[in-house]
Structure 1
Amino acid sequence: VKVEELPVVCEFPGVFSGDVSDVPLGREVEFSIDLVPGTGPISMAPYRMSASELKELKKQLEELLEKKF
């Protein structure tokens, strides 16, 4: 199988070697997660924290997102 013959793989030729014969054949998708472009992470704390801690955490998250981290 050549890199050019696989739809997703051909978009990233620098990542794959010229021979991708060990790539498994297509499989039926059991489930999928639909992503909505431009949405942010859900703001739900895994444990209780004070309002000031949550505010600081959100600030740090925004800074990381601005840096495209």
Structure 2
Amino acid sequence: MVHLLRQKATRAQLAEMLETLGGYIKLAVDIEQEIGAGGGALHADCEAVLLEAGSRRPSWTRRFKPESRRL
């Protein structure tokens, strides 16, 4: 599941985003609008959610490993 994030993700959102890939979460962020999206199988899934929310183009994409808390 991909979540649009306008603030810090909740534990429930993290759990849902981890369901797709298990060990890590795909992320895309629009730094100008200060929003992000996380989850899905591809960074493109996150980018699509940002574009639907009015983003012109995500500023960057990363993957997040919760156990290490690193991008």
If asked which structure has higher relative contact order (CA below 8 Å, sep 6+), I would say 2
Q: TM-score range by the shorter chain?
A: under 0.3
If you compute each CA radius of gyration, which structure gives the higher value, 1 or 2?
1
Greater strand fraction, Structure 1 or Structure 2: 2
Please give the TM-score of this superposition, normalised by the length of structure 1.
Answer: 0.23
